[in-house]
Structures are given as structure tokens and as C-alpha cells.
Amino acid sequence: MKHSQMICTQINQADSSLPDKKTIFTSAINGISVKVNLDDWDRLSVSLLHVEVTMTNPHAMEDGEAFIDKCNRLADRIGYLEESLKAVEVDKTDRIGIIRSYPPRVDGDNITYFDIKINGGDGSISLERVVRDIVAGQDRPGKTIIGYHLLSRLIDDFSAAAMDMFTGHD
């Protein structure tokens, strides 16, 4: 069973009538762990706060240029999030990458964007929505409403990217 199937099964079996449904769902198989933090869910969609895929035993990549290329490929691969994504910062020496919505969305006094962090040191890839208050200059977590199909696809794509980036295997 794939991580995405395990997570979606857990969500569907969870009690959706709880007054405060902020819940973390997890899966760990084949050297990869997945953590999905939801604000809410129903039978059609989820309100995603955070998703993280982590390799149990990541291996350092030898070529920093390959890491840059893989960050750019991940940005292209998850273009279905309906915002253009771009690797805005990549440190090929420390193997840390940041992919963000580019350009970010402007909504009144707020700027919102996807923030994807790739950390080669601990073998993790994570995504969250960020809301920046332009006036206060402060960030806060945001929500992303997506269907189960897109949540599954995101988990599967992050898992495949983690295998490729941190083990050298697709």
C-alpha cells in the first residue's frame, strides 16, 4: 500500500464530527515517513496545513548541481497546485532548497504562497501555505483546500522526489 492510500484511509476513518478536527495523520513504510497535518476535512476535500515526507536514512548526494536540478524538477512536477512554482533559493553545498509560489498571490493586505522546503541534511521535503500580513510584516500558517486526489498525488510526488534526491533511486 502506498503512503497516500494509507493517509487517505486514515482520514476517511477518522471521526469528522469532532468539534476541533486539527489532526496529524502519519504513515511510515519502506524507509519513508509521511506526516499530514489537517485543519479540517469532509468526504470531498481536506484543509491542509502541512505535509512532510522524510527519509529514514538519507544519503548525501555527491553533486550539488544535481540537487539544484532536482529542486527545479520538483517545482515543475507539482505544477498542479494551480500556482507557478519556482526554486527561489538553493544551497547546493548544504543541500537546502526553497520552492515558492512565484509570483505570490496578493489579496488585500495579505500575500499568500506555497513554501516547499527541501532539506538534504535530514532528508525531508515539506509544504505549507504561508500568509504574510503586508502591514504587520508577519507570517502565519495558511490553509490549502484540496481534494483527496491532489493530496494523494502530492504525497506520492514528494515520496518519489525524496527517493530520488536522498537515495539516488526513483
Domain count, the chain: 1
With a cut of 70, say whether residue 153 has pLDDT above it: yes
Burial class for 45, CB neighbours closer than 10 Å (0-12, 13-18, 19+): middle
Nearest to 35 by CA among 128, 131, 168, 115: 128
pLDDT, tens digit (0-9, with 9 covering 90-100), for 84-131: 999 889 888 888 999 999 999 999 999 999 999 999 888 999 999 999
**3-state SS, residue 43:** coil
Domain assignment of residue 61, given as a range: 3-167
pLDDT, greater one: 74 or 167? 74
pLDDT, position 95 = 84
With a cut of 60, say whether residue 170 has pLDDT above it: no
Per cent of the chain over pLDDT 70 is: 91
